[in-house]
Amino acid sequence: MQKKWLSLSSEVQNALAEGKPVVALESTIIAHGMPFPQNVETALRVEQVVRDAGAIPATCAVMGGRLTCGLNADQIELLGRGGHQIPKASRRDLAYLLSRGDDGATTVASTMIIAHQAGVRVFATGGIGGVHRGATTTMDISADLPELAQTPVAVVSAGVKSILDLPLTLEYLETQGVPVIGYQTDEFPAFYTRHSGLKVDFRMDSPSEIARMLDAQWSAGLRSGVVVANPVPAEYEADPVMIDRAIAEALAAAEQQGVRGKTITPFLLAFIEQTTGGRSLTTNIELVCNNARLGAEIAGALGRRMN
C-alpha cells in the first residue's frame, strides 16, 4: 500500500516533524463500540487525555477514500452519528474502501497499518481482538493478531476483550513472536476485570522501561508489534461474576441469532452493556482513557530515547 493514500492532519504532521510524541487512536470504538452520543463524547475525552499527558492524539479512520491519521471534531461526529452504517474496516477492507472513496471505521489491525505508515509508534485502544471461543472448529481469529505479528507498533490495551478465548489468544501471540508486557502487573488483564489467572511475558513498571524495550525491539530489526497490557483501574473494575454471566448470555444469544464474522464483537458488547445496565460501558470508557494516558507517557519516553 502506497503512502499516496495517506492523509495526515496538519497537527499530526507538524508534531511528527518536530519530534513530538503522537498516540494513534482507533475509530471502530466510535462507530461500532458505543452508542451515540457517548461514542463522540468518549472519543473527544480520550483525545484530551492524550493531550493532558503531553502527546498529540491521532484518531485514525478511512475518510473519503483516504487513510487518515488525525481526525477533526467534525469527522469524529460524522463517524459517531453514522454508527453501524459506517463500514468496519480491517486490513482486508482497506483497498475496497480506498478504491470507492468511502469512509470506514478502523479496527486495531487497520489503525496499526495507518499509524505505521504515518510514522506513529504507539497506539492506545480498549482491548485487542483475539481468538474467538470455539475457534478450534470455526477458525474465527481476529485479524488484529496477525497484524501484531507483522506491524511494528506498540498497542496499549486492557488486554483482550473477555468475550474471547484468552488462553488461546496468548498462545497465538507467543507463536507469532509478539511480546506481551504487563504494565505494573504479572497477570494478563481481562478487559472489564483486572485478573484472568494468566501470566504476561514480561512485567514492566514504568513507561521509560517499556520505551527502552520498544527501542531495542525495533532497532534490532524485530518487526512485530508489542502488546502493552494495562489493567483497568481498580475503582472501575466490573464485578467478575456479573461480567461472566453477561458474557454467557451474550454468547448464547449470538448463537441463537446466527451472528457471525465482523458483526459478532459489536453485538456481544452491546448485549453485555444492556445486560449489565450500562455498567460495562462505564468500565469500557474508563479503561480506554487509562490506556490513552499510558500510551501518551510511553510515546513521550520513546521519543526522548529516539530523538
Identify the active-site residue in 26, 47, 147, 273. 26
* Residue in 77, 161, 237, 273 annotated catalytic: 161
Can you give the three-state secondary structure of 224-280, one letter per residue?
A: CCEEEECCCCHHHCCCHHHHHHHHHHHHHHHHHHCCCHHHHHHHHHHHHHHHCCCHH
- Catalytic site residue 273? no
CB proximity list for 140: less than 8 A, separation 6 or greater: 131, 132, 134, 260, 261, 264
Cα–Cα distance for residue pair 151/93, rounded to 1 Å: 17
**How crowded is residue 54: how many other Cβ atoms within 10 Å of its Cβ?**
14
Q: Is 26 a catalytic residue?
A: yes
Q: Which three cell numbers stand for residue 279?
A: 455498567
- CB-based contacts of 56: which residues, under 8 Å, 6+ apart? 11, 12, 15, 20, 21, 22, 23, 50
Q: What are the residue numbers of the active site?
A: 26, 161
